[in-house]
A = this chain, B = another copy of it.
């Protein structure tokens, strides 16, 4: 199944890296939401390969063509399907690896899962390209959430030994202004430049690096979410792990929280402006699986791009022999950077789903 979210809205994506096109359908999206094309294209551009000097050299315009569900710039209530052309396919780059499985990629596991019938070129359906439909769907979710006053932003919390401030320490959405329009979104002054240099060095070295991306969802009301696997955390985590290269997700202080003591980590309640808030937000805005009204904050561990230019040992699964592998082709030295708008998008879809559950499709009427 290629479902990103499967609740009151369902988002399915399709396509392969070297097929004619990729696409997606959002089912259950409410009618009457104003479609802001300019905003959607901006979101797409944030993820597109050309947006960074250090991303893959593959050139894709990534203009989604909406084929159903939106008329006169308003959503109709029927499924919103759209497609994105694969314009710059160079399948020959993958000639020598069809049977030699690439380390830390899905080549071997997909071969086992699909008995070798899957398209291996460019990772096929496992390609990072499939995150483009997620971003478009997320842009729509953001349009819906806008009317509820919800704002979403993500930044690079950690990369190599560079660390940024955490959204956990910011109680409102003003912090977003400090990261907007930066090539390498970060709160601390100078971090963007430091990150640019670090990735540049790694690219020159033919290597890759991962990063921890932190996402903040500001303005969510208290009392959204549910029990057990309907918790905010279950739902966000489930959808986030649909993103390739994501290997960890923590809420609030997450793993650091686990290493602390109750007396220092508990988020104490207080009253401010007639509203119940917490003095700290170590829980990342979620208690018992339900929103507290504080910003929802979570961090995603994005692994280094598996494709590197250095030779690696691997196995040719057709001949079952070990083999040295050299990967050519085009790839980002740090996929985490382009994952930033993807993480925001998938977060938006999840929150949209939870709002629909809380207020119904009539809630937007």
Contacts and interface: CB of A to CB of B under 8 A. Distances in A.
A219 interface: no
A238 interface: yes
Contacts of A301: 250, 254-255, 257-258
A211 B118 CA distance: 41
A147 interface: no
Contacts of A67: 14-15, 19-21, 23, 83
Contacts of A248: 248-251, 254-255, 257-258
A279 interface: yes
Nearest to A335: B262
Contacts of A64: none
Interface stretch (A1-9, A41-49, A136-144): A1-9
A210 B270 CA distance: 24
A10 B3 contact: yes
B304 A108 contact: no
A120 to B, nearest CB: 10
A199 to B, nearest CB: 11
Contacts of A242: 227-229, 231, 234
21 contacts: A1-B226, A1-B228, A23-B68, A31-B117, A71-B117, A103-B269, A108-B292, A109-B286, A113-B226, A209-B260, A209-B261, A210-B257, A228-B242, A233-B241, A248-B258, A257-B301, A268-B313, A269-B314, A270-B313, A358-B361, A360-B360
Contacts of A312: 266, 268
A255 B43 CA distance: 27
Contacts of A71: 16, 117, 119
A69 B1 CA distance: 12
Given A25-B12, A303-B258, A283 B104 contact: yes
Nearest to A71: B119
Contact of A227 (B74, B78, B254): B78
A109 B288 contact: yes
Contacts of A289: 106, 109, 241
A4 B211 contact: no
Contacts of A185: none
Interface stretch (A53-61, A169-177, A316-324): A316-324
A229 B105 CA distance: 17
The 10 closest A-B pairs by CB, nearest first: A106-B288, A112-B223, A248-B250, A208-B262, A248-B254, A77-B114, A109-B290, A78-B125, A360-B360, A258-B301
By secondary structure, the A interface counts as mixed
Report how many copies the assembly holds. 4
Interface string A72-87: 0011111111010000
Contacts of A304: 257-258, 260-262, 265-266
B276 A229 contact: no
Contacts of A268: 103, 312-314
A160 interface: yes
Given A10-B12, A263-B207, A251 B247 contact: yes
Given A103-B267, A238-B238, 12 more contacts: A12-B79, A14-B69, A22-B68, A103-B268, A159-B259, A248-B258, A265-B303, A271-B322, A274-B320, A276-B315, A357-B361, A359-B362
Contact of A27 (B2, B28, B270): B2
A115 interface: yes
Interface string A13-37: 1111001111101011001100000
